[in-house]
Structure 1
Amino acid sequence: MPVALSPQISSEPPSDCHSVWRGATLVTMRDGHYNLIEDGAIAVTGSKIVWTGSAADCPDFPGAAVHEFEGGIITPGFVDCHTHLVFGGDRSEEFEQRLNGVSYADIAAAGGGILSTVNATREATEDELLAQALFRLQPLLAEGVTCVEIKSGYGLSIESELKMLRVIRRLGVMLQVEVKSTCLAAHALPPEFKGRTDEYIAMVCDTLLPVVASENLADAVDAFCEHLAFSPEQVERVFIAAQALGLPVKLHAEQLSSLHGSALAARYHALSADHLEYATAEDAQAMAASGTVAVLLPGAYYLLRETQCPPVDEFRKYNVPMALASDANPGTSPALSLRLMLNMGCTLFRLTPEEALAGITCHGARALGLQETHGTLEPGKVADFIHWPLSRPAELVYWLGGQLPCTVVFRGEVRGEFRL
């Protein structure tokens, strides 16, 4: 068990503070470790943490509201750094068909698979997509998610991709959660471009991305580098176009085969490379050198009954930060619990509970480029944190199913229960 740290106090304690939160063990996650402060305190001014340390050493803040907890732990707010929460319809019927022995090829031939989601997304209005996304986001918020990334990628046309991105931006305005938007137009080839993959990539690069950038609809650009999607050369064209517009990049890579997309992502200093079941030691070295985060997605691994695990030992060897995310999507990971991903990350990928918790706090924040503002309990960070009536951090990983009681603080204020 890590020992408690000495208080993290600046040379001059802050002169003002509007709230103090005390009476629980702080799980600071500084440097990716628990770094516990027993009987800790957090001082908040506005939406920022201004002091953390032992409650016994907390400066006197006249007029500050004091919130006392009766034990338990306080963690940073959870970061779900890879989701596809905005889409039309669902694919539960296909899920049942697969379990009854129908092949994916037969399902796709009948109009199913990703193209069924594309059709449903294209047909849905912006308000309909918003309502469906709110339904899916509610369970994530209820268990402590304070920052979530949401991708487009089921529109696959200029009009529908922009529609999805507008919905994502609306979610960030409506709800008490930090929402980061990612343009994933290079997710799959739309049917109208069959046999013309390069033309579709040209449309994404030359027409769509400039509009996305000019309207500030995305914080990053993603692509799917795989035999059934886009080649490394096509992905590189997307990266070049995105970076010319000032947009950082990330990549779905090495999920089903080894194309060294993660090494390509590293060459472009991508925020993250995600999935990574077939990543190699060379990929891990390249990611380490560029600071690219490895985002592990056990939900898709589980649902697809995969057997090839990401090379976690290589990521450890080369000190590649490992994030975890829900990958909430209609086809391969209809997962609405980030805490369940903690357990899956440990049981399926052999992460330690400490590594798993780092994956949805400090490393999840790094995968979104938010490491300076989110993911740890430290002065200067945004005051997003969660109180849990639990004895130790490992309990967050240990309990299966259900929602553990918690108090979520978002930007320094208790977040109310979200209801549709």
Structure 2
Amino acid sequence: MWDDLWLGATVATMQGDGLGLIEEGAVAAKDGRIAFAGPAGSLPGPALSLARRVHDVSGTLMTPGLVDCHTHLVFGGDRIAEFRLSLAGATRAEIAASGGGIVATMRATRAASEAQLLEGARGRLRCLMAEGVTTVEIKSGYGLDRETELRMLRVARRLGREEGIRVVTSFLGAHALPPEYTGRPDDYLDFLAEDVLPAAHAEALVDMCDGGIEGLSIPREAMLRLYAKATALGLPLRGHTDQYRDVGGAAAYAALGARSADHLEYANEAGIEAMGRAGTTAVLLPGSTLFLRETERPPVALFRKHGVRMAIATNCNPGSSPTRSPLLVLALAATMFRLTPEEALRGYTAEAARVLARENEVGTIAEGFAADLAIWNVKDLAELCYWLGGNPLRAVVRGGITA
């Protein structure tokens, strides 16, 4: 007998390359896994004889639980003072020169205890969960030293255990160059590759390795050495690139066989074509575009032309995307980036799961997958991208348990 059976929803299974819609659907869960997903008319018997609990969710849309595949949830302090400076006309370079930017968050994060980091991140995480997120990626990258990077990753693991949500961790020690390594980026990357990343891996704190090819403080060749170490440890690769100008990052990440290249506002067509051939997903982050008031948009038409899969995420962080609303990100992906509602919803479910190497576990409603579900009080899936404000989430199910 199944544990739970949901009846009557329009179910967007995400099976195949589309939405895999089932009208008047039925979805069953047993032991935290999906045991049936299909038309209610295909059930093998009367509903009440099949499950301990039967839920009538007629008139709703059921989707996989959302997968937020790019966040920086764990950090100390905030950057509100910088926000004020930016509104007054200060540039990013001027803010960084005055001691702001990532290094400011580094100082606050180093000064924060594990308990302080945990409670700050818990509040942000609960905002995501309240809008249907059941799997979240959390990066390190605001410690830029051994102790704090490991502390951030421990906090991320604790959040998953304590909040009952799937957490995938990414090592982002090469987020920026810390002051103690000014002028010595090669030494810093060697330190990360030979000390910090192996320590995080040995403690089972890290699932993926993130970084950046942006032509900023971390030279490309140094970044590639860290990626080589991550590959030797069996960690999938990801990276931030081509956000502020075209540095050929799309092609570089395709050559690395990376799971994703993220941002990509200035990516060139040859690099995008290479991503399509390599199966590297484009992760689009409209919260950053909005908050930074950027005018360049990711080349979505080229992604479509070359068969590049597109995921979307909040990029929740204190500096460039203080975004805690997945529903806002869905709306921005459609209105600012011109994704169709179908592309946006796939981008926050099946495609995001692929980025996290969890495509056979979450992001799709199919037998054997985790019973992570979101049930929405909407009649048309486009409503999830239409309303600016409000939350139509009726219920969320994580591992078969209704939250």
State the TM bucket, normalised to the shorter chain: over 0.9
Relative to the length of structure 2, the TM-score reads 0.97
Would you identify which runs of 4 or more consecutive aligned residues in structure 1 move more than 6 Å?
none
1:75 and 1:91, CA in 2 relative to 1: closer, same or farther beyond 3 A?
Answer: same
Paired with 1:100 and 1:287, the residues of 2 have a C-alpha distance of 39
The residue that corresponds to 2:389 in the other structure is 401
Residue 325 (str. 1) matches residue 287 (str. 2): no
1:401 and 1:87, CA in 2 relative to 1: closer, same or farther beyond 3 A?
Answer: same
1:180 to 157, 161, 168: 168
Deviation at 1:63, TM superposition (A): 4.7
Where do residues 53-132 of structure 1 align in structure 2 (5 Å cutoff)? 53-60=38-45, 61-132=49-120
Contact kept? 2:66, 2:135, Cα under 8 Å? yes
The residue that corresponds to 2:28 in the other structure is 43
Q: Deviations over 1:214-263 (max 9, x none)?
A: 11111000002112232321221111000111111100011112222222
Question: Secondary structure at 1:18's aligned position in 2?
Answer: strand
| AA aligned opposite 1:58 | L
Paired with 2:162 and 2:313, the residues of 1 have a C-alpha distance of 22
Structure 1 segments unaligned to the other structure (5+ residues): 1-15, 416-420
Where do residues 198-237 of structure 1 align in structure 2 (5 Å cutoff)? 198-237=186-225
The residue that corresponds to 1:33 in the other structure is 18
Percent sequence identity over aligned pairs:
48
The residue that corresponds to 2:373 in the other structure is 385
| AA aligned opposite 2:229 | A
Paired with 1:344 and 1:229, the residues of 2 have a C-alpha distance of 30
The residue that corresponds to 2:344 in the other structure is 356
1:308 and 1:413, CA in 2 relative to 1: closer, same or farther beyond 3 A?
Answer: same
Paired with 1:114 and 1:35, the residues of 2 have a C-alpha distance of 41
Paired with 1:376 and 1:107, the residues of 2 have a C-alpha distance of 42
Contact kept? 2:19, 2:342, Cα under 8 Å? yes
Relative to the length of structure 1, the TM-score reads 0.93
1:211 and 1:257, CA in 2 relative to 1: closer, same or farther beyond 3 A?
Answer: same
Paired with 2:50 and 2:353, the residues of 1 have a C-alpha distance of 33
Residue 337 (str. 1) matches residue 325 (str. 2): yes
| Cα RMSD, aligned residues only | 1.2
Contact kept? 2:185, 2:219, Cα under 8 Å? no
| AA aligned opposite 1:41 | A
Structure 2 segments unaligned to the other structure (5+ residues): none
Where do residues 190-269 of structure 1 align in structure 2 (5 Å cutoff)? 190-269=178-257
Contact kept? 2:315, 2:323, Cα under 8 Å? yes
Paired with 2:367 and 2:144, the residues of 1 have a C-alpha distance of 42
Where do residues 292-331 of structure 1 align in structure 2 (5 Å cutoff)? 292-331=280-319
Residue 161 (str. 1) matches residue 146 (str. 2): no
Paired with 2:51 and 2:368, the residues of 1 have a C-alpha distance of 21
The residue that corresponds to 1:21 in the other structure is 6
Paired with 1:33 and 1:397, the residues of 2 have a C-alpha distance of 17
The residue that corresponds to 1:412 in the other structure is 400
Deviation at 1:306, TM superposition (A): 1.4
Q: Deviations over 1:148-191 (max 9, x none)?
A: 00000000001111111111111111112110000000100000
Paired with 2:260 and 2:131, the residues of 1 have a C-alpha distance of 24
Paired with 1:63 and 1:209, the residues of 2 have a C-alpha distance of 46
Paired with 2:58 and 2:51, the residues of 1 have a C-alpha distance of 22
Contact kept? 1:85, 1:329, Cα under 8 Å? yes
Deviation at 1:75, TM superposition (A): 0.7
Paired with 2:51 and 2:214, the residues of 1 have a C-alpha distance of 57
Question: Secondary structure at 2:16's aligned position in 1?
Answer: helix
Range 102-111 or range 25-34, more displaced:
102-111
The residue that corresponds to 2:356 in the other structure is 368
| AA aligned opposite 1:393 | L
Contact kept? 1:251, 1:262, Cα under 8 Å? no
| AA aligned opposite 1:18 | D
Question: Secondary structure at 1:186's aligned position in 2?
Answer: helix
Question: Secondary structure at 1:355's aligned position in 2?
Answer: helix
Deviation at 1:31, TM superposition (A): 2.3
Equivalenced residues, count: 400
Q: Deviations over 1:260-295 (max 9, x none)?
A: 222222222111110011111111122122211110
Paired with 2:370 and 2:123, the residues of 1 have a C-alpha distance of 26
Deviation at 1:402, TM superposition (A): 2.6
| AA aligned opposite 2:137 | E
Q: Deviations over 1:287-330 (max 9, x none)?
A: 12221111000111111121221111111111111000000000
Q: Deviations over 1:111-169 (max 9, x none)?
A: 22211100000000011000100111111100100000000000000111111111111
Paired with 1:148 and 1:118, the residues of 2 have a C-alpha distance of 22
